Amino acid sequence: MYEGTIQDLIDELGRLPGVGPKSAQRIAFHILSADPADVTRLANALRKVKDLVRFCTVCFNVAESEQCRICRDARRTDEVLCVVEEPKDVVAIERTGEFRGRYHVLGGAINPLEGIGPDNLRIRELMQRLGSGAVRELILATDPNTEGEATATYLALMVKPMGIAVTRLASGLPVGGDLEYADEITLGRAFEGRRAV
Amino acid sequence: MYVRRLELVNFRSYERVELEFDPGASVLVGPNGVGKTNLVEALGYVATLGSHRVATDAPLVRAGAASAVIRCEIVHDGRELLVELEIVPGKANRARLGRSPVRRAREVLGALRLVLFAPEDLELVRGDPAERRRYLDDLLVARLPRFGGVRADYDRVVKQRNALLRSAYLARKTGGSRGGDLSTLDVWDAHLARHGAELLAGRLELVAALTPHVAKAYDAVAAGKGAAGIAYRPSLELAEPAPNRDALEAALHAALAEARQSEVERGVTLVGPHRDDLTLSLGPLPAKGYASHGESWSYALALRLAAYDLLRADGIEPVLALDDVFAELDAGRRERLADLVSGASQLLVTCAVAEDVPAELRGARYQVREGEARRAG
Ligand SMILES: Nc1ncnc2c1ncn2[C@@H]1O[C@H](COP(=O)(O)OP(=O)(O)O)[C@@H](O)[C@H]1O
Ligand SMILES: [Mg+2]
Ligand SMILES: [Zn+2]
C-alpha cells in the first residue's frame, strides 16, 4: 500500500476492465513520471468524454450530439437495420465497408448469469423502431457465442411475425468469439453471406 | 505419437522442470508425495484441458505463483508439434500451438492424445455419474477434437439456463418481481436441445463403438472371470435404435417441455446429457455397489484400456500413462497388464518401487525427488 494520492490513483485504475493490481501500479507510476502536458491531455480527454459523448437517441451508438453520425447520414438506407451488442461492433462493421443501412445497439446480450434479461437491453426501443414500417430487413449481428446466439434467437422469434426479413451473419466467424476481434475480410464475408433465420 | 519433451514452470510442486522422453517405456520412480503424479497430470491437462484430480485450476498453480506454464513437444507421424499452455486460475488459459498463439485454449485439443490410468479411476466404478460422463466426454474429444467445442457450448447453455431458472425461483420465494422473467426460457430450451443433441449423438455413437472393447479388456485383465457390459443411460426416453441428431433434438425439446413445470419449481435443468449416466455391469449385476475392490480395479482399468484400444482401432496411437498402478495389482494382473500395454508407442509409468513394474516395461528410468525430476538411466 502506498500513501494517499498515489494509492487513490492505483485503486481507480484497478477498477478499469482488464487492469489488474500490477498493471494499475505500473500505469500509476508511469503517469507520475510522465510529462505534465501529456498527463493534462489525458485528464482532459477523460473529462471531455463524459461531458461531450452521449448515446444516440435513435440507435444508442455513441454520439456527440442528439443523433450519431450514422443516423444523421441521409445517404444511408432506412430499409436495412443491423442489430449489434456494443458500439465497438458498429466500428468493426463500418470498417468492412459492406454496410450502408442503420444500426441498433442493444447494450449487451441476454445473459442470465449476469442478471441481464430482455428488459435490460434496448429491445423495447428496437421494437418501436421496427413498428414504423420502414425496415425490410433486420440483420442480427450479435456475437457468435452462447449469449449472442440466444439474443439473436430471441429477437428472431419476436420480429419474424411482423413480416420483416430476419438474417444472421454467415458462419465463418470464429465461434465463441467477439465480433470486434474478427478481421475485416472475415467479417465482410460474413456480412455478404448472411442468411435468413 | 509420443511426448518428446515436457517442461513445467510453477506447475504444482515444480518451480521449473524439464524432461526428455523417448518412444517406448519410461518409468518415473520416487517415494510418495515427491511429484510423480504431478508430471502425468500436466500431460493430462494438455490432452483434456482439465486435471484428473481436481475440478478447478487453482491447485495446479504452485503455491505463491500467479500462473503455471506447461510446454510439451509432441512427435506425431514424424512431425513435431509444440503446445504451450498458461494456466491462470479464474481466467481463460492462454495457449500456443507451434509458435503462434491460438484464440482459444481448446484449439490445442487433439494435439496430444493420451490415455491416463490413475488410482482416482476407481471413482469411475464407485463414484457419481459425473465421473463417467467425464470419461466419455474426454474420450469423445480425443477421438474427435471438435467435440471440445460442442461440450463447452453445451455446458455454457446449461449454466445460463440454470441461472435463469434459479433467479426465477428465488424471485418467487422472496415474492419480488425482479428476475422472475422467464420470457427467454423458450430460447434456452431450443439451444439446449440443439447442443445437447449433438453431444448426445456423439456419446451414443461412442458407447456403441466402445462396448466390445470394454468386454474384451475386462476379460483380459480379469482372466475370464465375469463379463463386463456398459450401457448409456439417458435422462430422457429414447427410441431404439438410437435416433439421429435431428430426432434427438426433437426428443430433447419435447422432454424439456414435459419437465418445464418441475424445472421451474425446482429452479434447475433436469433433462439433458449433463444428467445422463453410463451404467457398468458385471454379468447380471451392476458394478457399482456389487463389485469387490479387486473387480472394481479391474473394471476401471478395463475402461481405460478399452479407450486405448478404441483410439488405436481409429488409427490414433495414443500415449499411455499408468500412474501408480502396479502396486495395487496382484502378480497375475501385473503380468496380464504388461502384455496388453507393452506395444504402446509411448508408455509412461510412475511407481514408488521400481521392482513393482514388470521387467518388460522397464525402459528409460527417471528419478523423481521433491520438486525435481531427471533421467537416471
Ligand atoms: N499447487 C501446489 N504448490 C506446491 N506444491 C504442491 C501443489 N500441489 C501439490 N503440491 C505438492 O505436490 C506433492 C504431491 O505430488 P504428487 O505428484 O501427487 O506425488 P506422487 O509422487 O506421490 O505422485 C505434495 O507434496 C504436494 O504438497
Ligand atoms: Mg501419485
Ligand atoms: Zn444513431
User: Which residues of chain B neighbour A113 with C-beta distances below 8 Å?
Assistant: 159-160, 163
pLDDT band at A129 (very low <50, low <70, confident <90, very high): very high
Instruction: Name the 3-class secondary structure at A38.
Output: helix
So what's the pLDDT on residue A4?
A: 86
Residue B175's pLDDT is what?
Answer: 73
B334-344: string of b/e by CB count within 10 Å (b at 16+)? bebbbebbeeb
The answer to the question of residue A117 being in a domain is yes
| Of A52, A76, A92, the domain-final residue | A52
User: Residue A181: helix, strand or coil by DSSP?
Assistant: helix
> CATH number, domain at A31?
1.10.8.420
Closest protein CA for atom 9 of ligand 1: B12
Nearest atom, ligand 1, residue B31 CA = 21
Q: Based on the domain organization, do A81 and A118 belong to the same domain?
A: yes
Report the SS3 class of residue B244: coil
Kindly determine whether residue A146 and residue B157, on different chains, have CB atoms separated by under 8 Å: yes
Which residue minimizes the CA distance to atom 27 of ligand 1?
B13
Nearest CA to ligand 1 atom 10: B13
Q: Rounded to the nearest 10 degrees, what angle do helices B185-221 and B147-174 cross at? A: 130
> Which residues neighbour B225 within 8 Å (Cβ) at sequence distance 6 or greater?
none
Residue B226 backbone dihedrals phi, psi, to 5 degrees: 95, 145
Q: Are A9 and A78 in a shared domain?
A: no
Report CA(B49)–ligand 2 centroid distance (Å): 19
Tell me the pairing of strands B285-286 and A195-196.
unpaired
Candidate CATH numbers 3.40.30.10, 3.90.230.10, 3.40.47.10, 3.40.50.300; the one for domain B1-113+317-377: 3.40.50.300
* Residue A30 vs residues A26, A39, A43, A93, B333: alpha-carbon distances, Å: 6, 10, 14, 34, 65
Q: Give me the DSSP letters along A71-136.
A: HH-TTS-SSEEEEESSHHHHHHHHHHT---SEEEE-SS--BGGGTB-GGGTTHHHHHHHHHTS---
Q: Do A150 and B186 touch (CB under 8 A)?
A: no
10 Å Cβ neighbour count for B57?
A: 19
CB B303 within 8 A of CB B121: yes
Nearest residue of B to residue A116, measured between CA atoms: B179
Closest CA to B202 of B269, B265, B140: B140
CA A116, B269, B199: angle at the middle one, nearest 5? 100
> Does residue A4 belong to the interface with chain B, where contact is any CB pair within 8 Å?
no
Each of the 377 residues of chain B gets a pLDDT tens digit; together they read 999 999 999 999 999 999 999 999 999 999 999 999 999 999 999 999 999 999 999 999 999 999 999 999 999 988 999 999 999 998 889 999 998 888 889 889 999 999 999 999 999 999 999 999 999 999 999 999 999 989 999 999 999 999 999 998 888 888 765 546 889 999 999 999 999 999 999 999 999 999 999 999 999 998 878 899 999 999 998 887 778 999 999 999 999 999 999 999 999 999 999 999 999 999 999 999 999 999 999 999 999 999 999 999 999 999 999 999 998 888 888 888 999 998 899 999 999 998 889 988 888 999 999 999 999 97
The torsion angle over the Cα atoms of residues B200, B205, B209 and B212, rounded to 10 degrees, is: 60
pLDDT band at A49 (very low <50, low <70, confident <90, very high): confident
Identify all chain A residues contacting B179, using CB atoms and an 8 Å cutoff: 115, 117
Return the SS3 of A139: strand
| End-to-end Cα spacing for chain A | 55
- Burial-class residue A34 by CB neighbours within 10 Å (0-12, 13-18, 19+): exposed
Q: Do A157 and B187 count as a contact with CB atoms less than 8 A apart?
A: yes
Tell me which residue in A115, A117, A174 faces B184 most closely, judged by beta carbons.
A117
What ipTM score was computed for the predicted complex, to two decimals?
Answer: 0.83
Of all residues in chain A, the one with the smallest CA distance to B154 is A146
CB contact under 8 A, A146 and B181: no
**Are A24 and A75 found together in one domain?**
no
Question: Domain residues for A139?
Answer: 62-196
The answer to whether residue A57 is domain-embedded is no
Which residues is B81 bridged to in the sheet? B74
- Which ligand 1 atom is the nearest neighbour of the CA of B38? 17
What is the side-by-side order of every strand in the sheet holding A195-196?
A102-105, A80-84, A137-140, A165-168, A195-196
3-state secondary structure of B17: strand
Residues 111-140 of A with CB under 8 A from B: 111-113, 115, 117-119
* CB of A180 less than 8 A from some CB of B: no
H or E element that contains B50: none
Residues A40 and A69 in one domain: no
What gap in Å lies between CA B305 and CA B309, rounded to an integer? 6
Q: Do the domain assignments include residue A41?
A: yes
Residue boundaries of the structural domains of chain B: 1-113+317-377
Whether residues A32 and A113 share a domain: the answer is no
Q: Which residues of A touch B149 (CB under 8 A)?
A: 175-176
A121 and A159 in a single domain? The answer is yes
Please report whether residue A133 resides in a domain: yes
A84 and A47 assigned to the same domain? no
Domain count, chain A: 2
Q: How far is CA B172 from CA B3, B102, B116, B184, B310, in A?
A: 55, 44, 46, 17, 49
**Using a 6 Å CB cutoff, which residues line ligand 1?**
B 12-13, 30, 32-38, 59, 61-63
pTM over 0.90: no
The kind and range of the H/E element at B253 are: helix B245-266
**The domain spanning residue A76 has which CATH number?**
3.40.1360.10
Check whether residue A105 and residue A150 sit in a common domain: yes
pLDDT of residue A148: 95
Residue B363 has a pLDDT of: 86
Q: Give the one of A110, A115, A149 whose C-beta lies nearest to B184's C-beta.
A: A110
Mutate to test the interface with B, among A19, A116, A120, A153 (most CBs of B within 10 A): A153
DSSP state of B174: H
Closest by CA position to B219, among listed B298, B287, B288, B132: B298
Q: Are residues A93 and A156 in the same domain?
A: yes
Give the integer Cα–Cα distance in Å for A130 and B190: 25
- Is the pLDDT assigned to residue A177 strictly greater than 70? no
Contact between B163 and A157 using a beta-carbon 8 Å cutoff: no
Q: Do residue A72 and residue A46 come from a single domain?
A: no
Looking at CA atoms only, how far is residue B69 from chain A in angstroms? 20
Q: Within this chain, do residues A116 and A138 fall inside the same structural domain, yes or no?
A: yes
Residue A14 lies in a domain: yes
Instruction: For residue B25, give every residue at least 6 positions away whose Cβ sits within 8 Å of its Cβ, in sequence order, or none.
Output: B342, B344, B347, B349, B361, B362, B363, B364
Residue whose CA lies nearest to ligand 1 atom number 11: B13
The CA distance from A68 to B259, in Å, is: 47
Look at residues B59, B75, B83, B84 and name the one whose alpha carbon lies nearest to residue B24: B75
- Residues of chain B in contact with residue A146, where contact means CB-CB under 8 angstroms, are 153, 156-157, 160, 191
Give the integer Cα–Cα distance in Å for A130 and A32: 51
Cβ contact B149–A149 (<8 Å): no
